[in-house]
Structure 1
């Protein structure tokens, strides 16, 4: 798969994930926010809880499942990026959660979205 195609599939998955989160009543605060530690795909508010959502989009399981790609190293990077986001926007939420949103894009039919809340 080419880099451009991977980017397009990833962007599509992030749009699907954001729509899904909105349908659950979450408010999207930021998308694709970057700092020296990496990128936060989606920052949202779920009631009084700030939620960082790592979005993983897959068209096959050739390289493992979407959830398998969220390693301990990735969670550390997310926590560091989240710390910078909180500092940059001077936000002090009552609670913080990291979720993983997986988007499966089959060769035919619509995408399937799953959310794993509170992975870290």
Structure 2
């Protein structure tokens, strides 16, 4: 496994734990279809939450959340609809969140959670 892939998987596990600790029940992860991938899917009360996770080992090249582009957010909205259809949750209110994680070697992880980014 590539170091970048391992970092991404570690970040997604941390994000899932963080979300669970903050009342969002994670119900799916790494869902894929021909149009792309959703990192995490959760439920926050009755609201369906699609979560994009961005993990970096440092802020040397900027904050992880700076990697979210308008095109990525539009694609996430499309993927959210596809996920909801496949899982018969079309009527659920929908929210797109982002979690940015800096996972340094010597310091505790820094986790930023932005709600309703798209």
Q: Same fold (TM over 0.5)?
A: yes
Correspondence for 1:96: 94
SS of equivalent residue, structure 1 residue 17: helix
Correspondence for 2:77: 79
Q: For structure 2, which runs of at least 5 residues remain unmatched after alignment?
A: none
Q: Deviations over 1:30-81 (max 9, x none)?
A: 0000011110000000001110010000112343321111101101111111
Distance 1:62 1:24 in 2: 28
Correspondence for 2:12: 14
Distance 2:107 2:115 in 1: 26
Structural RMSD (CA): 1.3
Q: For residues 117 and 10 of structure 1, do their structure 2 counterparts lie closer, same or farther at Cα, with a shift above 3 Å needed?
A: same
Is 1:67 aligned with 2:58?
no
- Provide the aligned length of Structure 1 versus Structure 2: 118
Q: For structure 1, which runs of at least 5 residues remain unmatched after alignment?
A: none
Correspondence for 1:37: 35
TM-score normalized with structure 1 length: 0.92
Distance 2:38 2:8 in 1: 13
Correspondence for 1:24: 22
